[in-house]
Chain A
């Protein structure tokens, strides 16, 4: 591993640690009256969400860059990549600097002053130049994961630019257009980083099983194209209730229902998973990948239900959305990234005593995350019932019992903090060892 990659991984893990600590503070700040919390919620939320999103994007790019070097047989360091890292890390630190002095200006998930999008964009272009330079020399018929990495990088660029189009008055002066384009780009951007992350997951499975076949062939590509259509056309579920043109809703609803096929496919593949599990039981990479598949299953069921407008009517704007957001970013994305970084760090080469800690951390995380996730769903159902079905208008009275459920969420979050904290700690230790 190059020094640049080590910095990349170290920074990504630091972001995850920040998301965990600040998330825990935010969960309690949400419940306590303003002024009691050490740092106000208005500040904690953007720090938490930005740390989480930047962890995912940084972790995804770290894996992608490292494995593509292995895949494409690169040995020398790259100035383009170093340039990306310097700009990327520097700008993200500036983002947190602005939050620290209460300077915002952006929109949801990207709440920092919008000018900072410029260096982030440049950093991304450098990363893409580094990747596609090597990609041009690729084998003519690349396996699926190479397609996924390339598509993810390209679509992140497209959606990131789209996310910032609101600087042009034509977009902003029409509120329906403003909100539509905002959530179109946000929705597809999640698809873009999923391409990069699932690409890495597939790469790891290929290497674990030694079977290139899982990344080739008609069936995997058909499923991939289905996923890609989702990235492109499925974002409309974010704005079902906005009075846009009707076809935006119908397209999104139609495309999301095609995802039932994924669910059926998972259930069909269940038996094969059981055999596979016996073979790779003791491999850290595999255990994290398996955990992510478990969360794909749970989150897919929730997502499918939320994508039906008649149900979305009760779940939209409640903590069910938060369950969906954190269930996928922690359960799926973070688990795959931990598998990927664990592989890069060679965690499986460590003595059993040290590896045991990771197992403990992973188990604590899974159990706490289940409680965390179900508590958010319960809170969301309660709010949906009270505000939509009962039509309660007094906000504080309506939220009172919801907040009681959210205490369960907040305490379970401490378990997630502990569990993932142990894993992050073990990874950091390994990263700092001279031999890694």
Chain B
């Protein structure tokens, strides 16, 4: 028993190292100071209780992964500033809104939240071709 346990554990440790270093397939755009600030605001305001990024998060509002491309900056700013019937106005200041936009634009550039039908393989898995940078 002990031997199998140890083999599995070592495999886990190795896999973890591989995921940390190569899991992104070498595609990355480093965060700027503003992106980092936006990410902090995203967490402090708990936007994730209602919104998803890559389908992960709450369900009350829309997935915002590619909202920057789809809706555009002005529409996003309006929601963040005033809220809507469903989205609460969170009293964000101008700097916070700028940071959030920078963060969401950065997320948008990492890929698409919705996997397109061409990327679905007959075996059921995906082969996602990188779209952007």
Are A108 and B60 within 8 A (Cβ)? no
Question: Given contacts A41-B49, A108-B57, A232-B8, is CB(A176)–CB(B128) below 8 Å?
Answer: no
Give Cα A106–Cα B107 distance, bound, in whole angstroms.
18
Are A174 and B120 within 8 A (Cβ)? no
Chain B residues with Cβ below 8 Å from A246 are: 25, 126-128
Are B28 and A233 within 8 A (Cβ)? no
Give Cα A105–Cα B22 distance, bound, in whole angstroms.
28
Q: Which of B28, B60, B70 contacts A393 (CB 8 A)?
A: B70
Q: Which of B88, B124, B131 contacts A310 (CB 8 A)?
A: B124
Are A111 and B23 within 8 A (Cβ)? no
Are A310 and B50 within 8 A (Cβ)? no
Are A317 and B8 within 8 A (Cβ)? no
Give Cα A249–Cα B106 distance, bound, in whole angstroms.
23
Q: How large is the interface on A (under 10, 10 to 19, 20 to 34, 35 or more residues)?
A: 35 or more
Question: Given contacts A42-B46, A313-B115, is CB(A176)–CB(B124) below 8 Å?
Answer: no
Are B25 and A243 within 8 A (Cβ)? yes
Question: Given contacts A42-B46, A180-B24, A184-B19, is CB(A395)–CB(B62) below 8 Å?
Answer: yes
Which chain B residues (79-117) contact chain A, with CB distance < 8 Å?
83, 85-88, 106-107, 110-115
Give Cα A31–Cα B107 distance, bound, in whole angstroms.
29
Are A245 and B24 within 8 A (Cβ)? yes
Verify if A22 is at the interface (C-beta below 8 Å from B).
no
Verify if A265 is at the interface (C-beta below 8 Å from B).
no
Chain A residues with Cβ below 8 Å from B113 are: 241, 317
Are B49 and A244 within 8 A (Cβ)? no
Question: Given contacts A232-B8, A308-B124, A317-B56, is CB(A105)–CB(B43) below 8 Å?
Answer: yes
Give Cα A172–Cα B12 distance, bound, in whole angstroms.
22
Q: Which of A225, A319, A393 contacts B59 (CB 8 A)?
A: A319
Question: Given contacts A34-B88, A239-B54, A316-B55, is CB(A249)–CB(B126) below 8 Å?
Answer: yes
Are B22 and A245 within 8 A (Cβ)? yes
Verify if A404 is at the interface (C-beta below 8 Å from B).
no
Q: Which of A33, A104, A147, A243 contacts B46 (CB 8 A)?
A: A104
- Per-position binary interface string of chain A over residues 164-191, scored 1 when its CB falls under 8 Å from any chain B CB and 0 otherwise: 0000010111111101110110000000
Is chain A's binding surface mostly helix, strand, loop or mixed? helix
Chain A residues with Cβ below 8 Å from B78 are: none
Chain A residues with Cβ below 8 Å from B126 are: 240-241, 246, 249, 309
Is chain B's binding surface mostly helix, strand, loop or mixed? loop
Which residue of chain A is the closest to B127 with respect to CB atoms? A246
Verify if A46 is at the interface (C-beta below 8 Å from B).
yes
Which chain A residues (287-335) contact chain B, with CB distance < 8 Å?
308-311, 313, 316-319, 322
Chain B residues with Cβ below 8 Å from A41 are: 49-50, 60
- What total of chain B residues lie within 8 Å of the partner, measured CB to CB? 63
- Per-position binary interface string of chain B over residues 31-51, scored 1 when its CB falls under 8 Å from any chain A CB and 0 otherwise: 100001001100111101110
Verify if A8 is at the interface (C-beta below 8 Å from B).
no
Give Cα A151–Cα B29 distance, bound, in whole angstroms.
37
User: How far does the Cβ of B10 sit from chain A's closest Cβ, in whole Å?
Assistant: 11
Verify if A238 is at the interface (C-beta below 8 Å from B).
yes
Verify if A66 is at the interface (C-beta below 8 Å from B).
no
Are B1 and A174 within 8 A (Cβ)? no
Verify if A94 is at the interface (C-beta below 8 Å from B).
no
Are A244 and B24 within 8 A (Cβ)? yes
Are B106 and A181 within 8 A (Cβ)? no
Give Cα A370–Cα B124 distance, bound, in whole angstroms.
29
Are A250 and B55 within 8 A (Cβ)? no
Give Cα A103–Cα B23 distance, bound, in whole angstroms.
32
Question: Given contacts A241-B55, A245-B24, A396-B86, is CB(A174)–CB(B30) below 8 Å?
Answer: yes
Give Cα A201–Cα B111 distance, bound, in whole angstroms.
43
Give 13 A-B pairs besides A173-B31, A319-B59 with Cβ atoms closer than 8 angstroms.
A30-B60, A45-B50, A104-B46, A106-B43, A172-B39, A176-B24, A179-B53, A184-B16, A228-B8, A239-B54, A243-B25, A243-B111, A246-B127
Pull 29 A–B residue pairs with CB atoms less than 8 Å apart, ordered by A: A30-B59, A30-B60, A34-B85, A34-B86, A45-B50, A103-B44, A104-B45, A105-B40, A111-B43, A111-B49, A169-B36, A173-B31, A176-B23, A179-B54, A180-B23, A181-B19, A183-B56, A184-B19, A232-B12, A238-B56, A241-B55, A242-B111, A244-B23, A309-B126, A310-B124, A317-B52, A317-B59, A317-B63, A388-B114
